[in-house]
Amino acid sequence: MGLMVSWQRPWGGFGRWVLALVCCLSMGGTRAAGTNPEAVAAPIRFGILPIGSAAESREQWRPLLADLEKRLGHPVTTVSVSSYAGLSGAIGDQRVDIAFLSGKLAIDAVLKQRMSVIAQFVRSDGAKGNVGYLIVRADGPIHDLQGLLAHPGRWRYARGEPLSVTGYVAPEAEVFAPRGLNSDTFFASVHVGNHQNNALAVVNGEVDVASSNNPDLDLFRRNFPQEAAQLKVIWRSSLIPSGVLVVRDEMDEPLRSQLIGFMRGYGQSSGASGERERANLARVPDLAGFAPADSLVLQPFIDMEYTLLRQQVQHGRWVSEAAQAARLRQVEADHQKTLRLLRPH
């Protein structure tokens, strides 16, 4: 039955209906603003380092973050970006409360962006880190690392961003810089992209060699088994420590402590709930849990960057030996300063 309005009595039934509506709206507004603070609580913003595409990474973390939201009774949103630089920018702009990071990203977050390491990733195979790779087509012209290095200016290279440890820093520090080479000038062309797209570029013959790592190559094998069978690893790095979780220092208590407790304890319980949580962890490539850690766990990343800088200075062209020596002293001083700042207060 529709609403009937009598124009002969404009402030009769219609007036009472308007008054009732105003009262209902006022009461609803009061409840939203006053009696239920969680309805307007600012969300916990979780930054996700891209493994594969941003959408793929977001889907991998979705069940864990749903549990986090339920356990803390607090909304959770994701900051999922397509590049390392994008995530670094979001952290610098204070748009991230907790994030999964590695290498230079984590160092900058701790030293420059007011965040602290609270846990390190535990791999499902028990290893304490990842291994960087250089990959080629198994049936291609490059058979080994010596064959790659024997022909400067011939090959096309696909690598990660400069902030990527396995995508850029490790190959540069362990393959190119010790030989007085720079990948940006050694190759005929250089393409910068994520590990998944770079592996596809090798398979499709768009590039001759690409940097990668074991978690990303395992993910590539699951997503593209036929294509992955066409790839071959020609170089493996030394063990690179696993990524870390960092949390914003200014995050309100007790929410910050509750968040840290949840992440460190996730997947540790027994029974059906623990099994379900471990299954959620396994959705993120090679992740089995989070071991408590502090910022000192980042020292291997800092040492790797220090080694790379020294090698670049030693093999670079300088106007004089004095200029080179001065630069080496500055690299050493910067390294020692970074290590001091890294130590927990």
What is the DSSP pairing of strand 44-48 with strand 156-159? Answer: unpaired
| Better pLDDT: 314 or 144 | 144
Summarised one tens digit per residue, pLDDT across range 233-285 is 999 999 888 889 999 999 999 999 999 999 999 999 888 988 999 999 988 87
pLDDT at 34: 43
Residue pair 54/65 in contact (Cβ under 8 Å)? The answer is: no
Strand order in the sheet with 189-192: 189-192, 156-159, 209-213, 129-137, 231-241
Distance CA 81, CA 98 (A): 14
- 3-state SS assignment for residue 207: coil
pTM for this entry: 0.73
Q: CA of 90: how far to CAs of 45, 72, 87, 140, 244, in Å?
A: 10, 24, 5, 40, 17
Q: What is the model's pLDDT at position 311?
A: 86
Which of the pair, 27 or 309, is modelled with greater confidence?
Answer: 309
Whole-number mean pLDDT of the chain? 84
**Whole-angstrom distance, CA of residue 131 vs CA of residue 190:** 22
